[in-house]
Amino acid sequence: MAASPDHCYRHPREETRIRCSRCDRPICPECMNPAPVGHHCPTCVGEARRSVRRPLAPIRRLRRLSLTTILLAVILAVFVVEIARGGLRDLGVLVDMGAMVPALVEDGQYWRLVTAIFLHAGPLHLLFNVYALVIFGNLVEEAFGTVRFAAVYFVTGFAASAASFAFGSEGRVAVGASGAIFGLLGAWLTYNWRRRELSMAQANVRMALLLIGINLVFGLSVRGIDNTAHVGGLIAGVLAGLAAEGFGGRAMRTASRVGGLALILGGALALVLWRIG
């Protein structure tokens, strides 16, 4: 004997003899979702989807995390280690942690040209660089995308260290992300200069030039600031901004991006070899 018809729980006027195989609610043809056995109602399908999404939520949040935020977290974490080891009172701690010291680089410790950009000499030094990275890191990352932003940041940071090494005094102890930040500022200047027909880009060019001028004058006026790293990072950044966008068609753009950034890196390496030789 056939079961008497019931009414769909979402559409009370619709008669049906089908029930959800998961919760046993009556469902009409419009509400049926095929399942391995029978049909599921929209409510059960929604619950199943949410149960799958919940474990993936932290992964999705991690994917949305910008590289700028990750760099900031690393820089702050390194500074906490500096404080814990007494780096604010003892310059030797910064040297032990990877500060750029020309004499040590000449002895083969080339990794210092990279590690130095994650170290800072004090809270004020850190504050200025963190503030600048928050502003220009996000701008450049949004403009170029995460991969090209990473390339610009590390290539210009290395170029800044290479300039400091090549033209600095033998006993200099150089630390700070400011060379890489000048690189981002140079790349941002180039990016907007190529779009100077737009009023917003014109305003960004003026702002970038003003900030570059202020920081260079400040660097020349205050003792202890590594101006060679700033200038080296800025020049590398202007060139990296051109390279990161590339030229020509799609295939040519990819090749010109990689080739351009490789040339900048090669120029920085040439400075290192020149100083060593």
Angle at 158 between CA 152 and CA 159, to 5 degrees: 85
Going from N- to C-terminal start, the domains of the chain cover 6-62, 67-276
The single residue listed with the structure tokens 């590690």 is 115
Which residues touch 211 (CB under 8 Å, ≥6 apart)?
Answer: 185
Architecture of domain 67-276: Up-down Bundle (1.20)
pTM of this structure: 0.75
Q: Mean pLDDT for the chain?
A: 85
pLDDT at 61: 46
**From the candidates 178, 199, 221, 256, which is the catalytic residue?**
178
- Structure confidence by residue, pLDDT tens digits, 140-163: 998 899 999 999 999 999 999 999
Q: pLDDT higher for 17 or 239?
A: 239
% pLDDT > 70, the chain: 92
**From the candidates 39, 120, 125, 230, which is the catalytic residue?**
230
Annotated catalytic, 230? yes
- Structure confidence by residue, pLDDT tens digits, 92-125: 889 999 999 999 999 999 999 999 999 998 898 8
- Structure confidence by residue, pLDDT tens digits, 155-201: 999 999 999 999 977 778 889 999 999 999 999 999 999 888 888 88
Q: Cα–Cα distance between 216 and 49 in angstroms, integer?
A: 55
